[in-house]
Amino acid sequence: MSFRPPVPTAVIERLKVAAGPGGYLDALEDMAPYVKSWRGNWVGATPLVLRPKTTEEVAALVKICAETSTAIVPQSGNTGLTYGSQPGKGMNEVVLSLSRMKAVRDIDLKNDTITVEAGVVLQEIQRLAADKNRLFPLSLGAEGTCQIGGNISTNAGGIQVLRYGNTRNLVLGLEVVLPDGRIWNGLRGLRKDNTGYDLKQLFISGEGTLGIITAAVLKLFPKPNETQTAWIAVESPEAGVELLAHMRATIGESVTSFELIGRSIVDLLLESMPVHSDPLRSVYPWYVLTELTGQGEPGSLAEPLSAALESAAEKGLIQDAVIASSNEQGKRLWKMREDFAFAQQHAGGTIAHDISVPLSRITEFIHRADNALLAAYPTVRPTCFGHVGDGNLHYNPAKPVDWTYERYVGERERINQIVHDIVVDLGGSISAEHGIGLLRLDENLRYKSQVEVDMLTAVKRVFDPANIMNPGKLIRL
């Protein structure tokens, strides 16, 4: 990547005038939240945070950046976990925050779509849908903070992918400001459109490297009337995967979420957050947290769930289980799952891996990764949970108790290589849902074939030949 000098003062002044009062931040303390990653382990620097309110304002600012070769880091909720939404440390990029673009442009109930601007918080879209008796199914731990522009740019996954797919499956149309400042209006609410390359797909998971998403048409679904949640003890990951097949065969597509949880993360949670309690009386090595949803009468899935668990027990697939007796109890079980992120911080830090392998290789992955890690670091604490229904695990070994965090982080590269070599050998992906950003850039380039790297680079060159859109993230020019 070529050297980029700090943004010249004259350019900063020009951008401020174009942004207008209230359209930018330039005081260090105001900009601090925009340059720091969610976990606090990356802190960049910028001379300016731009905060446009309309697509036209975004386009005008990007035009100035294009004319002056000024690099831009698009940012939404800043909850991404790969240092993709923060600037580097050289004061040579401006941050463009979409968080003031909050308009809901349209809700079309006959077409089952909602059109929102990029800065609308995910939880707000869920609420708007629910108010109209619809469901927007994207759901993840950061949903109270992340914004739809960021969700689309990372092709976010979350806990309902099993039934509804990734963000990619939920987007029908996009509006994008291109790196030269032109606006592409692709806000079509069509489920069928075979008129050439599906351009929106390039921006979905593009991590802000090809343009700035300013609005999107999203799919809505019927709102479920019925939800059943269960916390189930299983002997092994293999039993968990077999249980998923059993439940899908007996209950069908109502199985909406299916999370595998290792005991070690439950221990960390119970140690660090006394508000939680063990859902079962005995301790088991692995658990599944599953949710069923449907359109039938409230309570209509209770019987099918009990029957599926009974037949699973007869087959020796499960050891114990509790079915939530109320919505509140169900929510408490999900809160445990959400708080794993905090439990890991309490453990003094983990080295995170967001991997996927084919479901048929999940068990092999866990065994091989645990064995390889423990051979290299006998006191490391393997910790693993995730959206196993999608073949996606957060495999986050916690540091040895008597190590400092600095010593552990010093081993990050070697640990990543141990884990990711196994993932790639099993035909998996080193980033299932969090994306590449800066964190996984070198590794991604190492594991991808030259043909794939050439195609990615060629796409980037077509859209952004001057390399001003989130340079150095996802792909290197």
Q: Which amino acid is at 328?
A: E
**391 near ligand FAD, judged by CB under 6 A:** no
Q: Retrieve residue 319's tokens.
A: 């050891």
Three-state DSSP at 33 gives helix
Smallest distance from ligand FAD to CB 360, Å: 23
Count, residues near ligand FAD per rule CB under 6 A: 37
Q: How far apart are CA 168 and CA 433, in angstroms?
A: 11
Query: 42 vs 287, which CB is nearer to ligand FAD?
Result: 42
Distance, in Å, from the CA atom of 247 to the CA atom of 231, rounded to the nearest integer, reads 14
**Quick one: which of 23, 52, 137, 149 contacts ligand FAD (CB under 6 A)?**
149
Which one of 49, 140, 260, 317 is in contact with ligand FAD (CB under 6 A)?
Answer: 140
Q: What's the min distance (Å) between Cβ of 51 and ligand FAD?
A: 13
Give the nearest residue (CB) to ligand FAD.
Answer: 150
**37 touching ligand FAD, by CB under 6 A:** no
**Is the distance from CB of 150 to CB of 85 less than 8 angstroms?**
yes
Q: Which of 46, 70, 92, 151 binds ligand FAD (CB under 6 A)?
A: 151
Minimum distance, C-beta of residue 467 to ligand FAD, in the bound complex (Å): 14
Q: Please state, in angstroms and rounded to a whole number, the distance separating the CA atoms of residues 385 and 165.
A: 19
The answer to whether 210 and 464 have CB atoms below 8 angstroms apart is yes
Count CB atoms within 10 A of the CB of residue 353: 24
Nearer to ligand FAD, 75 or 264 (CB): 75
Instruction: Answer for the pair 189, 115: CB distance below 8 angstroms, yes or no.
Output: yes
DSSP 8-state symbol, 361: G
Selected range binding ligand FAD among 42-50, 135-143, 181-189, 194-202, rule: CB under 6 A: 135-143
Task: Please choose, from the candidates 211, 123, 209, the residue with its C-alpha nearest in 3D space to the C-alpha of residue 175.
Answer: 211
Binding mask 154-173 for ligand FAD (x = CB under 6 A): x-xxx---------------
Minimum gap (Å) between residue 281 Cβ and ligand FAD: 29
CA dist list (Å): 141 to 435, 448, 477: 16, 29, 33
341 near ligand FAD, rule: CB under 6 A:
yes
Q: By C-alpha distance, which of 212, 261, 213 is closest to 240?
A: 261
User: Taking CB under 6 A as the rule, does residue 324 contact ligand FAD?
Assistant: no
Which of 55, 70, 75, 396 binds ligand FAD (CB under 6 A)? It is: 75
Find the binding residues for ligand FAD in span 186-245 (CB under 6 A): 207-208, 212-213
Nearer to ligand FAD, 82 or 228 (CB): 82
Task: Look up residue 25 and give its two tokens.
Answer: 């931040």
Q: Does 390 bind ligand FAD (CB under 6 A)?
A: no
Pairing state between β 384-386 and 392-395: antiparallel
From the list 23, 44, 77, 240, which residue makes contact with ligand FAD (rule: CB under 6 A)?
77
CB atoms within 10 A of CB 96: 27
Token digits for 83?
């240092």
Binding site for ligand FAD (CB under 6 A): 38, 73-81, 84-85, 98, 118, 140-142, 146-147, 149-151, 153-154, 156-158, 207-208, 212-213, 341, 433-434, 437, 470, 473
